[in-house]
A = this chain, B = another copy of it.
Amino acid sequence: MGRKRLQESADGRPTVHTVAARAGVSIASASRVLNGVGGSPETIRKVRAAAAEVGYVPNAIARSLQSQRTGLIALAVEDIGNPVYVEMMRAIESVVAASGRQLLVHATGGQIANETALLRRLAHRYVDGMIVSPIRVTDDHLAALVDSPVPVVVVGQLGADAPVDNVRTDSRAGVGLAVDHLVAAGRRRIGFVNGPLDTVPGAARDAGFRVALAGHRIDLDERLVEVGDFRYAAGRAATERLLARARPDALVCANDLIAVGALHALLAAGHRVPGDVAVVGMDDTELARMMFPQLSSVSLGSAERGHRAAELLLQRIADPSLPPRREQVPPSLAVRASSAADDMTDPNLPAPRTPEVTA
């Protein structure tokens, strides 16, 4: 070790020892004063003075080693560029902050390896718990979740009986809401722009779409189905491919980013929305309301799911012996201008002086 119990840390910063020595008291007394527990007025004064003089800052790592907690909660999501995760994050943050902890976010990029690596690192005690929203789930991944050293709550679908706290929605039913709405509005050539089928949400939404159409006894024209990824550019490109070979009168999109891409593709190709083609997105993010026309969207209760996930996590941190729990948040549909039955402009907007807009 060479250096024998000096009074400053390896990198030259003051430690409790520095403060104690300077104040002429034991490290125990110094620590007590620094933590506001006990100490005679005189001791308190000396220690505080010494700490201020040397610019003492406690080492959180050392403190955590002792206390077995860091006060940090992590949220791991696939794509932080997707506003749905921002909304979820805000909901989680409010719960986490209220408990006196801090939220850290990690974008995994949807790569399994990345997410597993995260668990294998952060979860190794840098955080007191984590909330993970995976879009692909392998056995490996599930195993990592199950025997994580810190509590984990999963937002999203998970294998049948995985012993992990889990908050889910029913995106199959969510797609159904969109289809029902469009059919009720008289649309029949309903297209679907989805994300990758090898993802959990992608697969669920595909299934939901097919089931919903069947429920209305509408034969699915496969040319009306196109797949990209869950982001804007892919949504727009996928819609362009779809439009090149088919004539939908409505488009259901697997999320709002895709829906925005679809809207752009439609408008750029000269289609009227919703006049020629109605558009319904999914996730009901702020983005849907930012568009013109505003996008109808199926809410999957992301904020609510985030809120619940955070509460489940805090409960489990408080009592790790709780049995695994599962909660479900139902989807709902927000109808806006992009699928309004009568092609009127957005009712949420002030009356336009003229409905004609050249873009």
A residues neighboring B (CB under 8 Å) = 9-11, 13, 55, 57-62, 64-65, 68, 70-72, 74, 80-81, 83, 86, 89-90, 93, 102-107, 118, 121-122, 124-126, 147, 149, 232, 240, 260-261, 263-264, 267-270, 272-273, 275, 286, 290-293, 320, 337, 343, 345-346, 349-350, 352-359
Question: A57: which of B81, B149, B290 is its contact (CB, 8 Å)?
Answer: B149
**Provided the pairs A60-B125, A80-B80, A290-B264 are in contact, do residues A106 and B106 lie with their beta carbons within 8 angstroms?**
no
Residues A270 and B353 in contact, CB atoms below 8 Å apart: yes
Residues of B within 8 A of A261 (CB): 290
**Provided the pairs A122-B102, A124-B57, A354-B270 are in contact, do residues A359 and B74 lie with their beta carbons within 8 angstroms?**
no
Residues B269 and A350 in contact, CB atoms below 8 Å apart: yes
Residues of B within 8 A of A358 (CB): 272, 275, 343, 355-357
Bound complex: CA of A62 vs CA of B267, how far in Å? 57
Give this chain's copy count: 2
**Provided the pairs A260-B290, A358-B343, A359-B337 are in contact, do residues A81 and B70 lie with their beta carbons within 8 angstroms?**
no
User: Chain B nearest CB: distance from A336 CB in Å?
Assistant: 12
Residues of B within 8 A of A86 (CB): 80-81
Bound complex: CA of A107 vs CA of B106, how far in Å? 12
User: Chain B nearest CB: distance from A96 CB in Å?
Assistant: 11
26 contacts between A and B (CB under 8 A): A55-B147, A58-B124, A59-B124, A59-B125, A60-B126, A64-B126, A72-B122, A80-B105, A81-B83, A81-B90, A81-B286, A102-B106, A102-B122, A104-B104, A104-B106, A232-B290, A260-B290, A261-B290, A267-B292, A267-B352, A267-B357, A267-B359, A268-B349, A270-B354, A270-B355, A292-B292
Residues B359 and A273 in contact, CB atoms below 8 Å apart: yes
**Provided the pairs A10-B68, A106-B105 are in contact, do residues A263 and B292 lie with their beta carbons within 8 angstroms?**
yes
User: Chain B nearest CB: distance from A27 CB in Å?
Assistant: 16
- The 6 tightest CB contacts between A and B, nearest first, are A270-B353, A60-B124, A270-B354, A104-B104, A105-B105, A268-B349
Bound complex: CA of A263 vs CA of B124, how far in Å? 47
User: Chain B nearest CB: distance from A103 CB in Å?
Assistant: 7
When C-beta atoms are compared, the residue in chain B nearest to A62 turns out to be: B65
User: Chain B nearest CB: distance from A36 CB in Å?
Assistant: 15
- Which of A10, A83, A261, A267 lies at the interface centre, i.e. has the most chain B CB atoms within 10 A of its CB? A267
Residues A74 and B353 in contact, CB atoms below 8 Å apart: no
Residues of B within 8 A of A357 (CB): 267, 270, 272, 357-359
- Which of A9, A57, A126 lies at the interface centre, i.e. has the most chain B CB atoms within 10 A of its CB? A126
- Which of A9, A65, A81 lies at the interface centre, i.e. has the most chain B CB atoms within 10 A of its CB? A81
Residues A93 and B107 in contact, CB atoms below 8 Å apart: yes
User: Chain B nearest CB: distance from A155 CB in Å?
Assistant: 17
User: Chain B nearest CB: distance from A159 CB in Å?
Assistant: 20
Residues A107 and B107 in contact, CB atoms below 8 Å apart: no
When C-beta atoms are compared, the residue in chain B nearest to A270 turns out to be: B353
Further contacts, 14 of them, CB under 8 A, given A61-B64, A93-B107, A272-B358: A11-B68, A59-B65, A72-B122, A102-B118, A104-B105, A105-B107, A126-B126, A263-B292, A267-B292, A268-B345, A268-B349, A268-B352, A355-B358, A356-B358
Residues A126 and B286 in contact, CB atoms below 8 Å apart: no
Residues B353 and A269 in contact, CB atoms below 8 Å apart: yes
Residues A286 and B232 in contact, CB atoms below 8 Å apart: yes
**Provided the pairs A68-B10, A105-B107, A269-B353 are in contact, do residues A89 and B80 lie with their beta carbons within 8 angstroms?**
yes
